[in-house]
């Protein structure tokens, strides 16, 4: 029996799970809803880092060392900019720039982000459905002790997520709306999955889209999150550091508490199997996804486990 899976993700961590799911589910049975709070304007281009990480990962173009950007991409454009005295702080590969140019152009001509995302993915051979969380621009703003409010990429890339975070907000979220495509996918989902992405930076903006959280909670289906925190540490990035700064303990249990009634299932790593978890269904298995086979194994184990509930 075909099951419809919708997975909510940010960039690199979530892309690993999305890749695993895409290897075992046919295109019509998997929808990937992606955070767009990291999107920003740079040199006049609309850059959507998480959407592109997912697209490059699913198409096989992704840089294996970075987990984002395109493998073997060159940097002639930014090197040329340096001749003018520019000091680029955000890496844009030459091939990557083509993505941003075409997206910006299409959006200026009236295409929605959903439409252009579909077109770019299809052109790269990605058949599974990749959707932005909304078509309305939303910008994650990070309030820091050292610099006050910073645009997300300034915090994350320029300052390498070192400033101490006081709070986060999602500018423009009140005007955002769930897209018809995301709405239909969630309505038809047999399983809703929250990928091992940063809960505060990647998943919170998705859940903050007006109506999104309520729509997910209203679905009487398995709603499962995979912990991005393993043994009290983030596999990568600022999740664990951010937890301390926001006043939480560094633990997978806190992630489960944070998701609250959005989830009814939670998966932790075997190293965390004794943690008390405030969720109806819980399990543990290896959830570090280094290789392609790890990604497929995590996706398979998750689907098998969820189907064993009923």
CB 26 within 8 A of CB 36: no
| E strand map for 36-100 | 40-42, 45-47
Instruction: Give the range of 130-138, 191-199, 213-221, 256-264 binding ligand GDP by CB under 6 A.
Output: 191-199
Q: Which of residues 213-272 bind ligand GDP (CB under 6 A)?
A: 226-228, 230, 234-237, 239
Residue 21 contacts ligand GDP per CB under 6 A: no
For ligand GDP, give the closer residue by CB, 10 or 163: 10
H-helix or E-strand spanning residue 230: strand 229-230
20 is a site residue for ligand GDP (CB under 6 A)? no
Assigned token pair, 228: 């991005």
Cβ partners under 8 Å of residue 83, min gap 6: none
Whether the Cβ atoms of residue 90 and residue 157 lie closer than 8 Å to each other: yes
160 binds ligand GDP (CB under 6 A): no
- Burial (Cβ within 10 Å: 0-12, 13-18, ≥19) of residue 35: buried
Shortest distance (Å) from residue 149 CB to ligand GDP: 20
Residue 261, burial from CB neighbour count under 10 angstroms (0-12, 13-18, 19+): exposed
Task: Please identify which residue in 6, 7, 8, 9 interacts with ligand GDP, judged by CB under 6 A.
Answer: 9
- Cross-strand partners of 229: 234
- Say if residues 27 and 128 touch (Cβ distance below 8 Å): yes
Residue 38 or 73: the one with the smaller Cβ distance to ligand GDP is: 38
Say which residue the tokens 């995302």 belong to: 117
Among 5, 7, 11, 99, binds ligand GDP (CB under 6 A): 11
CB of 82 to ligand GDP, least distance (A): 26
- Residue 85 beta carbon to ligand GDP: minimum distance, rounded to whole angstroms: 31
* Window of 8-16, 164-172, 182-190, 243-251 that interacts with ligand GDP by CB under 6 A: 8-16
The residues that touch ligand GDP, with contacts defined as CB under 6 A, are: 9-14, 16, 50, 196-198, 201-202, 226-228, 230, 234-237, 239, 287-289
């Amino acid at each position: 029996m075909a099951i419809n899976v919708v997975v909510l993700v940010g960039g690199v961590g979530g892309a690993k799970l999305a890749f695993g799911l895409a290897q075992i589910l046919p295109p019509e049975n998997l929808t990937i809803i992606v955070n767009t709070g990291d999107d920003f304007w740079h040199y006049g281009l609309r850059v959507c880092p998480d959407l592109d990480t997912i697209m490059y990962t699913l198409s096989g173009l992704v840089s294996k060392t970075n987990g984002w950007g395109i493998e073997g991409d060159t940097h002639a454009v930014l090197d040329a900019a340096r001749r003018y005295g520019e000091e680029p702080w955000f890496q844009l590969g030459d091939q990557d720039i083509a993505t941003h140019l075409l997206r910006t152009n299409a959006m200026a001509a009236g295409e929605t982000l959903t439409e252009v995302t579909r077109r770019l993915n299809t052109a790269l051979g990605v058949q599974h459905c990749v959707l932005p969380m909304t078509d309305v621009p939303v910008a994650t703003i990070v309030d820091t002790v050292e610099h006050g409010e910073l645009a997300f990429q300034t915090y994350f890339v320029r300052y390498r997520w070192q400033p101490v975070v006081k709070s986060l907000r999602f500018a423009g979220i009140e005007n955002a709306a769930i897209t018809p495509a995301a709405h239909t996918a969630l309505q038809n989902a047999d399983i809703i999955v929250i990928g091992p992405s940063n809960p505060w930076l990647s998943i919170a903006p998705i859940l903050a889209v007006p109506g999104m959280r309520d729509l997910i909670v209203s679905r009487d289906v398995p709603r499962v999150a995979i912990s991005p925190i393993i043994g009290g540490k983030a596999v990568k990035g600022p999740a664990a550091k951010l937890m301390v700064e926001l006043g939480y303990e560094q633990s997978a249990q806190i992630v489960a508490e944070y998701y609250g009634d959005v989830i009814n299932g939670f998966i932790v790593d075997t190293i965390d199997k004794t943690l008390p978890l405030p969720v109806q269904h819980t399990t543990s298995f290896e959830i570090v996804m280094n290789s392609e086979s790890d990604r497929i194994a995590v996706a398979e184990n998750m689907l098998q486990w969820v189907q064993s509930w009923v």
